[in-house]
Amino acid sequence: DTGVSQNPRHKITKRGQNVTFRCDPISEHNRLYWYRQTLGQGPEFLTYFQNEAQLEKSRLLSDRFSAERPKGSFSTLEIQRTEQGDSAMYLCASSRDSPWEQFFGPGTRLTVL
C-alpha cells in the first residue's frame, strides 16, 4: 500500500501526559499537512511542511504542540501536557506541488482522560 499511513491509530492518555504521533506520507510527495478534526466538524488545519521546512502554523497550534519532519520524509506531531480539549482525530495528508491534491491517512484518534 503506497498511501499515507499514520501510527498509532488510537491513543488513550491521561491529562498531563505527552503523546507523539507519526505520519508517513506518499513517498514522492514533498508537502505534508496536519489537521485536527472534532466530532461533527470538518478538519481544521494545524501545520504544513514543504520538504523539511515547516512553512505555516495555525493559531490552533499552541506552544504545547510541536511538529517535525526530519529529512523531509516522515513527520511527527507531539502534544505536551495533554488536556481534555485535545481529544480529537489527528489527520495527516500529503501532496505534490500544483495542483496540490491532498491525500489523507486514516488518522490517529486521541482520547485524553
Give residues in contact with another protein (CB under 8 A): 4, 6, 31, 33, 35, 40-45, 48, 50, 55-56, 58, 91, 93, 98-107, 109
Q: Closest separation between CB of residue 49 and another protein, Å? A: 10
**Quick one: 16 or 23, whose CB is closer to another protein?**
23
Q: Closest separation between CB of residue 38 and another protein, Å? A: 11
Q: Closest separation between CB of residue 81 and another protein, Å? A: 25
**Quick one: 33 or 112, whose CB is closer to another protein?**
33
The number of beta carbons lying within 10 Å of the beta carbon of residue 5 is: 16
**Quick one: 35 or 112, whose CB is closer to another protein?**
35
CA distance 109 to 113: 13
Q: Which of 101, 61, 59 is nearest to 77 (CA)?
A: 61
Q: Closest separation between CB of residue 73 and another protein, Å? A: 19
Q: Which of 101, 95, 93 is nearest to 5 (CA)?
A: 93
Secondary structure (DSSP) of 49-62: EETTEEEEE-TTS-
**Quick one: 72 or 106, whose CB is closer to another protein?**
106
Burial grade of 94 (CB within 10 A; 0-12, 13-18, 19 or more): buried
